[in-house]
């Protein structure tokens, strides 16, 4: 049949008659993903408008507490609100968990990392203290870039900005920093260099430090310490920002429950103690910090294993500590006090309030007296505002209580706040084609109209009437504040629900192109399938389609996405049971079938360990993540075994490669490639030895072993890839096609394996050995259903069942190696194996290899084994390469179908509560995996098909 189809393929010469469908599929997938991403991960429209002092004349509010007119400026320097503070110190502790600050008495169980920031708790619990702790809630995604944008703009950054976290673009919309500079405030910054990327021309002085080397716990922090304390004695700034990173990096590398984390928290406690002492010493009358406010805050939280990015409670909950260095004259009415008080372990009464990070920009703007950022939708937090607000009135009677005076001022600033938010919503809706619906806008307009009407006809008149008594104004003020609260809460609720602008036309276009690519792949598979033999593949092969359908449909449920590793391994074990049944019936390959099921049990165990790492403990997050070492903690003998066994397995792998190269069919290009891999394996052993507590000798200095040896391994691997890529120039013509295919596949896998194993840590050899065993079992079991008594098959169609098993096994290896489809499933430490400094492209490549090495790179490049080990009567090159082409297209088809269903799930669930915390990360991982699969398939097509010639 292959001969009958030859004239149809003669239009394309050489290898391109087999590989062109793979390249066209890559183009279709890239186009589909580009369109869908443009429709799904759109940011909200950033309006090019900025707030100005003169804008307040358009509002119905009372402009100043001293001037009851609408002049655009005032002698005391006020703008939209009367300034309550003149200087501000903001200390950002990156990835500050709420339980780092709150006393352990607020939690059911005390943990080792709690009660380490003692100074914040002690200061806030003093009698008559002007300090308060807040539980702050961040909006996901919880990466530093989005949180800094949210804190300074008062808006809701969207998921697409995660991609910019490694190269932050400058903020072009109105923001707090811009307003400070525009209104004559001098801003001093030190620490995380993300600030200088977001605000490149705003700082009077800045001391930025590189922020992406997660292995470095001290450089950024030490730089902050060097400049922070001396700057407190300087007069050339109005706002000081100091961004520490040590806790964030300690979490990424070691986890929350680790000694480096605890030491960092103790260091921060000492620093904050010094800062508070210095500010208090200069806060007397006429002092430099007489009217200074200190804010210590986190930009987001972190999980127990030290990661963040999603919308889990540990990630979105952080803390804010605010302190005014004079006793505040304003007291907040109990109706607006959200604090919860408990006794700490020392018997001190500690009160903790709550706030949204969305409210930060508006509240700080009101305290400093500058215009609110144009796009802010936050609400002035009453408790934080009360910490800084002075005692002043709006012409009211001096007989009013402090509580009533505070309510007068707060009602007026809420009027400004609400007017600004309504102005923004109106302009945004008019300029954006996709935004709030007409029903949403009607709801917003009616709630604001009601609040404004109440203000104009009741509250404002009472505030301007100096004879108004307490009894008359108090109920009116409370009602007015409640109405503004209702309006601002309505806007925030609708914005969180519908802010992201989904372009359904682009999303549907991308999905349709994906379906076109699937149809094209099916036709490409069928083009080489003989009609006479087609019915023979629909026996056990039907199960392959069923397994694929089950896996694809599982993505329509968020619960199954969370358990994706278990689902994939269950389907893999199901296929193994089916093959065991065939092995029993035909009385052969029983050992391989049973071994495959045992391997599935091992995969299930390792996936369970990975889930434990994800959800329960941070002990697994080491510099080189290895669950092998961590499951044995507390058992010295097993710790020794866990350190030695990976080395023995690596030696075994090297021995197997050495035996393979002794075969006469391995000529010098391939033989030297594989023997270079053996050398790399030995270098990996040398790299590991300094980290082994059970081994008392050192072969090389630690600095060389940790940094230079990995670089040598990378260099060897690069040389191997170049050698195998041009190895076709040295091929032996006398070798048959299958033998040559096996040799080239072994050489390619050998070139990649040292880097993949090195980045995976000490679990790498075991995962590699498991992948060899699993691949061998799949290859052997593939002949179980062959012709009678194992006679070679004459069909030119590759068995879909074997390809499906290969694909499911690759997915299982992804989860076996400790990954999962979330941003906290990335092992950032792997990106710094062999390097201390951060270089974006280099670290991205290493992180990609670590994440997808066992699940995409090695399985795709090892796929030719499926064809080369089949027992077939037809051994011509045309026949073999047609089968290899089918195998690659089938493998890509399975990946494309599962990715398409994941995209369908994201489209359906785009308004789901977990869209940014679960569905969107799954989408990102799947589309990256699909494109990588296509890229390596195309590379393999150029490498493995370079011998295609017309058979004589």
Q: How far apart are CA 99 and CA 135, in angstroms?
A: 9
For residue 631, pLDDT beyond 80: no
Mean pLDDT of 840-856: 91
Tens-digit pLDDT profile for residues 525-548? 887 665 434 444 446 778 888 999
Quickly list H helices, 389-437: 402-431
Tens-digit pLDDT profile for residues 228-237? 999 999 999 9
For residue 43, pLDDT beyond 90: no
- pLDDT score recorded for residue 706: 77
Alpha-carbon distances of 261 from 95, 102, 258, rounded to whole Å: 11, 16, 5
- pLDDT score recorded for residue 339: 85
Residue whose C-alpha is closest to residue 871's, from 789, 782, 793, 780: 793
Query: Strand, coil or helix: what is 207?
Result: strand
Upstream peptide bond of 901 is cis (omega within 30 degrees of 0): no
- pLDDT score recorded for residue 366: 93
Beta bridge partners of residue 88, listed in sequence order: 239, 293
For residue 5, pLDDT beyond 60: no
Three-state SS for 559-608 is HHHHCHHHHHHHHHHHHHHHHHHHHHHHCCCHHHHHHHHHHHHHHHHHHH
Residue whose C-alpha is closest to residue 260's, from 291, 298, 217, 211: 217
Q: How far apart are CA 526 and CA 528, in angstroms?
A: 5
Better pLDDT: 682 or 503: 682
On whether the CB atoms of residues 114 and 100 are closer than 8 A, the answer is yes
Q: How far apart are CA 432 and CA 424, in angstroms?
A: 12
Which domains, from first to last, does the chain contain?
A: 1-42+503-528+876-952 (no CATH), 96-158+175-394 (3.40.720.10), 396-501 (1.20.140), 540-549+565-874 (no CATH)
Number of H helices, E strands in the chain: 35, 9
Tens-digit pLDDT profile for residues 896-911? 999 999 999 888 877 6
Beta-sheet pairing, 239-244 with 187-192: parallel
Tens-digit pLDDT profile for residues 138-150? 987 787 888 898 8
* Percent of all residues in the chain with a pLDDT value above 70, rounded to a whole number: 80
The structure's pTM equals 0.72
On whether the CB atoms of residues 753 and 767 are closer than 8 A, the answer is no
For residue 286, pLDDT beyond 50: yes
Give the E-state strand segments of 621-709 in sequence order: none
């Amino acid at each position: 049949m292959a001969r009958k189809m030859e004239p149809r393929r003669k239009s394309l010469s050489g290898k391109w008659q087999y590989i062109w469908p793979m390249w066209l599929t890559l183009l279709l997938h890239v186009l589909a993903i580009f369109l869908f991403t443009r429709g799904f991960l759109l940011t909200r429209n950033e309006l090019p408008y900025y707030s100005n002092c003169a804008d307040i004349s358009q509002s119905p509010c009372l402009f100043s507490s001293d001037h009851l007119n609408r002049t655009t400026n005032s002698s005391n320097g006020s703008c939209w609100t009367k300034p309550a503070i003149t200087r501000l110190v903001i200390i950002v502790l990156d990835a500050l968990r709420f339980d780092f600050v709150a006393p352990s008495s607020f939690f059911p169980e005390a943990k080792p990392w709690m009660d380490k920031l003692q100074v914040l708790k002690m200061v806030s619990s003093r009698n008559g203290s002007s300090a308060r702790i807040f539980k702050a809630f961040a909006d996901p995604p919880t990466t530093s870039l989005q949180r800094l944008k949210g804190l300074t703009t008062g808006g809701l950054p969207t998921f697409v900005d995660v991609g910019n976290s490694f190269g932050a673009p400058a903020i072009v919309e109105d923001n707090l920093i811009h307003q400070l500079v525009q209104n004559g405030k001098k801003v001093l910054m030190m620490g995380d260099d993300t600030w200088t990327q977001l605000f490149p021309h705003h700082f009077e002085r800045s001391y930025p430090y590189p922020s992406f080397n997660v292995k470095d716990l001290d450089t950024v922090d030490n730089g902050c310490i060097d400049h922070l304390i001396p700057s407190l004695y300087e007069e050339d700034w109005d706002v000081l920002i100091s961004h520490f990173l040590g806790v964030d990096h300690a979490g990424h590398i070691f986890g929350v429950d680790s000694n480096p984390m605890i030491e960092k928290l103790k260091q921060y406690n000492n620093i904050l103690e010094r800062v508070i002492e210095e500010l208090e010493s200069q806060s007397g009358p006429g002092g430099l910090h007489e009217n200074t406010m200190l804010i210590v805050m986190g930009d987001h939280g972190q999980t127990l294993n030290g990661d963040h990015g999603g919308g889990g409670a540990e990630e979105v909950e952080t803390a804010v500590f605010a302190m005014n260095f004079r006793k505040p004259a304003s007291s907040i009415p109990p109706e607006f006090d959200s604090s919860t008080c408990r006794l700490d372990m020392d018997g001190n009464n500690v009160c903790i309030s709550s706030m949204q990070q969305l409210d930060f920009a508006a509240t700080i703007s009101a305290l400093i007296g500058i215009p609110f950022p144009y796009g802010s939708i936050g609400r002035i937090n009453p408790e934080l505002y009360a910490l800084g607000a002075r005692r002043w009135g709006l012409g009211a009677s001096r007989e009013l209580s402090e509580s009533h005076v505070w309510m007068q001022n707060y009602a007026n600033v809420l009027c400004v706040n609400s007017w600004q938010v309504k102005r923004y919503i109106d302009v945004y809706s008019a300029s954006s084609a996709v935004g709030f619906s007409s029903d949403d806008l009607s709801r917003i307009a009616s709630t604001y109209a009601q609040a404004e009407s109440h203000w104009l006809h009741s509250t404002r008149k009472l505030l301007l009437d100096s004879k108004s008594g307490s009894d008359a104004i108090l109920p009116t003020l409370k009602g007015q504040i409640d109405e503004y609260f209702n309006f601002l809460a309505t806007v925030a609720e609708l914005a969180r629900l519908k802010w992201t602008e989904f372009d359904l036309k682009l999303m549907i276009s991308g999905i349709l192109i994906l379906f076109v690519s699937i149809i094209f792949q099916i036709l490409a598979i069928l083009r080489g399938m003989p009609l006479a033999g087609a019915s023979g593949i629909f026996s056990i092969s039907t199960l392959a389609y069923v397994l694929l359908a089950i896996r694809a449909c599982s993505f329509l449920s968020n619960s199954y996405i969370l358990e994706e590793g278990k689902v994939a391994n269950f389907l893999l074990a199901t296929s193994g049971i089916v093959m065991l049944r065939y092995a029993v019936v035909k009385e052969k390959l029983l050992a391989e079938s049973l071994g495959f099921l045992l391997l599935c049990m091992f995969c299930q165990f390792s996936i369970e360990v990975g889930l434990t790492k994800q959800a329960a403990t941070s002990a697994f997050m080491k510099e080189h993540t290895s669950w092998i070492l961590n499951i044995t903690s507390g058992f010295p003998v097993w710790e020794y075994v866990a350190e030695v066994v990976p080395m023995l397995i690596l030696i075994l792998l090297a021995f197997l490669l050495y035996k393979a190269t002794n075969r006469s069919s391995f000529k010098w290009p391939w033989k030297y490639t594989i023997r270079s891999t053996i050398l790399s394996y030995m270098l990996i052993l040398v790299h590991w030895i300094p980290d082994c507590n059970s081994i008392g000798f050192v072969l090389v200095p630690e600095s060389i072993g940790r940094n230079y040896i990995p670089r040598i391994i990378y260099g060897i691997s690069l040389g191997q890839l170049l050698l195998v890529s041009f190895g076709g120039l040295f091929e032996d013509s006398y070798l048959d096609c299958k033998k040559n295919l096996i040799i080239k596949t072994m050489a390619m896998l050998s070139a990649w394996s040292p880097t993949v194993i090195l980045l995976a840590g000490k679990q790498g050899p075991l995962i590699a050995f498991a992948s060899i065993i699993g691949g061998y079992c799949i290859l052997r079991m593939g002949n179980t259903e062959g012709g009678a008594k194992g006679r070679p098959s004459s069909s030119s169609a590759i068995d879909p069942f074997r390809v499906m098993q290969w694909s499911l096994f690759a997915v299982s290896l992804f989860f076996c190696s400790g990954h999962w489809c979330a941003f906290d499933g990335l092992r950032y430490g792997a990106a710094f194996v062999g390097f201390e400094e951060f270089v974006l492209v280099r670290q991205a490549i290493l992180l990609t290899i670590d994440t997808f090495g066992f699940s995409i790179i090695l399985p795709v490049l090892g796929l030719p084994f499926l064809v080369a080990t089949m027992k077939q009567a037809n051994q011509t090159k045309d026949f073999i390469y047609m089968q290899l082409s089918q195998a690659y297209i089938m493998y890509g088809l399975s990946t494309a179908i599962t990715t398409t269903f994941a995209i369908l799930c994201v489209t359906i669930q785009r308004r789901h509560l977990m869209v940014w915390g679960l569905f969107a990360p799954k989408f990102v991982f799947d589309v990256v995996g699909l494109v990588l699969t296509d890229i390596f398939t195309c590379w393999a097509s150029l490498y493995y098909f370079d011998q295609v010639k017309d058979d004589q």
